[in-house]
Amino acid sequence: MPSLQTYSTFGLAAYCDSIQSFTDVASFLSVFNTSKNDKNAIYILGGGSNSIFTNDFDGTVLVNEIKGISHFDTEAHHYLRVGAGENWHDFVTLCMKEKWYGFENLALIPGSVGACPIQNIGAYGVEVNRLIDKVECVFLEAGEQVLLSNEDCQFGYRDSVFKHALANKVLITHVNFKLPKHYELETSYGELAALSEPTPEKVYSKVIEIRKSKLPNPDELGNAGSFFKNPVVPKALYEAIAQKYDSVPHFVVSGSTELPALQQQIKIPAAWLIDQAGFKGKTLNKVRCHPTQPLVLTNLGGATGGDVITMAKDIIASVQGKFGIQLEPEVRLLGSKGLISL
Ligand SMILES: Cc1cc2nc3c(=O)[nH]c(=O)nc-3n(C[C@H](O)[C@H](O)[C@H](O)COP(=O)(O)OP(=O)(O)OC[C@H]3O[C@@H](n4cnc5c(N)ncnc54)[C@H](O)[C@@H]3O)c2cc1C
């Protein structure tokens, strides 16, 4: 049985029945239909930086390697059509070289272009949905190709239609981006705000520098980035917490700022909650809650799926007990039959 260890940046030892890569829709459909006829489970994989195989997977893993980048310009915009199997950071770096600006805050996020719409990747004040024009997909059952508009994708915070109505129903083949030639750089985030005379190049370099200093490099220490989403809570709950703790970090969720105070939604960093619950730097067998960023769980080498699940459940229960907030995983956890929840 082939090993999945190097196909997921968390790097747990796990196996599956078969791993096959594809470079176009026809080769994907051929493998997909064969696996389906054999009643094999199927999991589509990009860079594996948001997927953790907690167990052997009874099925076929299909790795997307659809490549290619094309581009045209109008007076106001750059339009890009990008193969889903392109590496995200390489693509962002190419855009910087070509002066197709807009992606600078999203530098150094691991993974593939095809996965970027799925959880609407975001960092340092920018989410990718604001640059996505259309997403090209193939419906798995019918083999039919469809073009989804930005609106069809129903983007939200680390969320989209691909996690709900279209979960496990489509293969994303290409993402089409529309970059305004005139736009405002997003530098409101802490260390970016300190940049003097910011340019896209300066933001790009700074983001890489900050990420390298704070986040473990998956090539050196297995991890899947943020393990949990930052919870969004009603203002009344935030205020109850703020009465008990000094300076609770928080952000009013954009879109709710216009609402009466008590209806506003407040985002509290999960890293702060996990730290307060006493998990920062804590180790369970071979899984560690990262000392400089407690939102990240790492594989110290030889961790098991059981270790990961136990640590994650402990964190969820502690944060729930202390703050009454239910953390939700941002990562995709897989068991032997497919996606699992905690
Ligand atoms: C160190 C580190 C830092 C990170 N920082 C960030 C960050 O700042 N912001 C952020 O948003 N995320 C971050 N992440 C998470 C991760 O990089 C993103 O979620 C990324 O988009 C995952 O891409 P991938 O190709 O590796 O996804 P995979 O893990 O391969 O797949 C993720 C999900 O998408 C599905 N999928 C993948 N490709 C396709 C396709 N073509 N068609 C249909 N379904 C598909 C898979 O089935 C799976 O369910 C980080 C991860 C790491 C390891």
Q: Are 111 and 123 in contact (CB under 8 A)?
A: no
**Beta strands of 291-331 (E only): which ranges?**
296-299
Q: Are residues 90 and 206 in the same domain?
A: yes
pLDDT tens sequence across 124-171: 999 999 999 999 999 998 899 999 999 999 999 899 999 999 999 999
Side by side, the strands of the sheet bearing 251-252 are 232-234, 265-267, 251-252
For 296, other C-beta atoms within 10 Å of its C-beta total 23
For residues 279 and 283, what is the distance between their CA atoms, to the nearest angstrom? 8
C-alpha pair distances (Å), 108 with each of 87, 130, 286:
10, 18, 26
Q: Are residues 192 and 286 in the same domain?
A: no
Q: Are residues 187 and 229 in the same domain?
A: no
Q: Are residues 101 and 200 in the same domain?
A: yes
Q: Are residues 121 and 150 in the same domain?
A: yes
Q: Which of 194, 211, 228 is the last residue of a domain?
A: 211
Single-letter amino acid code for the residue at 3: S
Q: Which residue has the higher pLDDT, 263 or 311?
A: 311
Q: Are residues 48 and 117 in the same domain?
A: no
In this prediction, residues 270-276 reach a mean pLDDT of 97
For the cut 80, the answer to whether the pLDDT of residue 335 exceeds it is yes
Q: Which residues pair with 172 in a beta bridge?
A: 137
pLDDT of residue 281: 97
pLDDT tens sequence across 52-77: 999 999 999 999 999 999 999 999 99
Q: Are residues 225 and 330 in the same domain?
A: yes
Q: Are 252 and 265 in contact (CB under 8 A)?
A: yes
The CATH number assigned to the domain holding 126 equals 3.30.465.10
The CATH number assigned to the domain holding 56 equals 3.30.43.10
Nearest CA to ligand 1 atom 28: 48
For the cut 90, the answer to whether the pLDDT of residue 204 exceeds it is yes
CA of 255 to the centre of ligand 1 (A): 26
For residues 311 and 304, what is the distance between their CA atoms, to the nearest angstrom? 11
Q: Are residues 127 and 189 in the same domain?
A: yes
Q: Are residues 284 and 308 in the same domain?
A: yes
Q: Which of 21, 39, 64 is the last residue of a domain?
A: 64
Lining residues, ligand 1, CB within 6 Å: 9, 43-51, 64, 84, 109-112, 114-116, 118-119, 121-123, 171-172, 215, 218, 223-225, 332
Q: Which residue has the higher pLDDT, 9 or 261?
A: 9
Q: Which of 185, 211, 237 is the last residue of a domain?
A: 211
For the cut 80, the answer to whether the pLDDT of residue 263 exceeds it is no
Q: Are residues 149 and 201 in the same domain?
A: yes
Q: How many domains does the chain have?
A: 3
**% residues pLDDT > 70 (the chain):** 97
pLDDT tens sequence across 274-302: 999 999 999 999 999 999 999 999 999 99
Residue 63 phi, psi dihedral angles, 5° rounding: -100, 125
Q: Are residues 259 and 331 in the same domain?
A: yes
Mean pLDDT of all residues in the chain?
95
For the cut 90, the answer to whether the pLDDT of residue 196 exceeds it is yes
Q: Are residues 244 and 178 in the same domain?
A: no
| Residue appearing with tokens 């919870």 | 231
The CATH number assigned to the domain holding 274 equals 3.90.78.10
Range of the domain at 51: 5-64
DSSP state at residue 90: H
